[in-house]
Chain A
Amino acid sequence: KMAMQDMNAVLSGLSGREQKELMLSLEEMQLKENFTTYNGLVERCFANCVTTFRSKTLDEKEEKCVTRCAHKFFKAVRRAAEVFSTGQTPPPSALQSPE
């Protein structure tokens, strides 16, 4: 949200055509970041949670681990974003809503 202000500052220095070009690149970067985040998270959670291959399906423990891993990641992202944008540290996450 703070990034929006910086973006407006950048945009105001460009012509209409350049702005369109930039917005298209931005859209492309956003799409790429979406799948990179998702794929990276799958990889990370898989690497940490799935350690044996006697079976071809995730057992209950692995399933829970993967789910928790994903939840924790987004909580960490949210917290990091908050600290980054406000410069303040929020209270410990025990106070946030449960998953």
Chain B
Amino acid sequence: NKVLIAKNEMAAINDMYSRMINRCFEKCVESFHDGELGLGESACIDRCVQKYGQCQVKVGEVMQKLQDKMAAQMNAQQGGAMPAR
């Protein structure tokens, strides 16, 4: 079971990584006249990666809030037997 969880976590990271790369490439690299990354493109990619990470945090916060809200609602229904996560 621990292997399952670890496997899943690695798959999750891989998945995030490839989505990020795809989006940042799409947003930062417009032309292919040159086979090298220009200065602007490089800077764009740096910032894109950082911003993507911040988006991840933001979305994670929303999800956490919703989970807490759901847990609180379940608690209320069960008469407060279980503590919120």
Contact = CB atoms under 8 A, between A and B. Distances in A.
- Counting contact residues on chain A (CB < 8 A from B), the size range is 20 to 34
Contacts of A40: 19
Most B Cβ at <10 Å: residue of A35, A42, A56: A42
A70 B8 contact: no
Q: Is the interface of A mostly helix, strand, loop or mixed?
A: helix
B55 A50 contact: yes
Interface of A: 24, 27-28, 31-32, 35-36, 38-43, 45-47, 49-51, 53-58, 62-63, 66-67, 70-71, 74
Contacts, number: 85
Question: Which of under 10, 10 to 19, 20 to 34, or 35 or more describes the interface residues of B?
Answer: 20 to 34
B4 A57 contact: no
5 closest A-B pairs by CB: A35-B12, A70-B62, A56-B47, A53-B47, A31-B8
A37 B70 CA distance: 18
Contacts of A50: 27, 48, 51-52, 55
Contact of A56 (B5, B51, B56, B58): B51
A32 B10 CA distance: 11
Nearest to B62: A70
